[in-house]
Amino acid sequence: MALALALASGGWLTYYFSDKEVIKRQLSEVAAALGKEEQETTMQMALKMREVKNMLAASCLVTIPERGYNEALEQDLIIHYLIYYRNHYILLTLAFEDPHIDIPVKGQAVVQSTIRLRLQSTSQSEVVEKSHQVSFSLTRGDKKWLFQTITLPEALVR
C-alpha cells in the first residue's frame, strides 16, 4: 500500500513539475498580470508590470508578420508599450487557450496558443471579446521560463 502511494505521489509530482505544466502555470500568471481591472491603481499596475518584466528575456524578438515588423526589443521598451496599450482600456482580461507546447531541446520551448481577450475601451460602454493566434519561444531562466521571441497578429497591437 505504501509503495503504491509513493509511486502515485511520485508520478503526480513528476507531472506537476514537468516543463509543460510549469509553462502552462506561468502563462496563467502572465495573463493575470497583463489583465486590468476597472479600479486598478498605479501601484497595482506597476507591480503587475514588474511581474511581466521578470518573465521577459533581456532582449525579446517581436514579430508582427502583417506589418513586416521584426525587431529585438529591450524589456523596458516592451513594458512601456504594454502600459500604453493597457491605458486604452477600462477592463482587460486575457487567457491562453489550449497552448500547444513543444520542447525541442532541454531549456527551450515553442508555444502556439489562442489568446482570448475581453476588452472594454475607455471610449466604449460594452465589453468586446476577441481571440487571436499567437506564438512565442521561451528559454529556461534561473527561476522562470523567459519569453525570447513573440509573434503577434497586427490586430493585437493597434
Question: CATH number, domain at 116?
Answer: 3.10.450.50
Query: What single-letter amino acid sits at 3?
Result: L
Query: What single-letter amino acid sits at 5?
Result: L
Each residue's pLDDT expressed in tens, for the chain with a length of 158 residues: 654 444 445 554 454 569 999 999 999 999 999 999 888 888 999 999 999 999 999 999 999 999 999 999 999 999 999 999 998 899 999 999 999 999 999 999 999 999 999 999 988 889 999 999 999 999 998 889 999 999 999 988 87
Q: pLDDT value at position 124?
A: 85
Q: Are 89 and 120 in contact (CB under 8 A)?
A: yes
Q: pLDDT value at position 139?
A: 97
User: How many Å apart are CA 112 and CA 31, to the nearest integer?
Assistant: 15
pTM for the full model?
0.86
Q: pLDDT value at position 4?
A: 46
Q: pLDDT value at position 154?
A: 92
Quote the number of domains for the chain. 1
Q: pLDDT value at position 33?
A: 96
Q: pLDDT value at position 17?
A: 62
What is the extent of the structural domain holding 151?
2-157
Q: pLDDT value at position 11?
A: 53
| Half-sphere exposure (Cβ direction) of 149: Cα atoms closer than 13 Å | 14
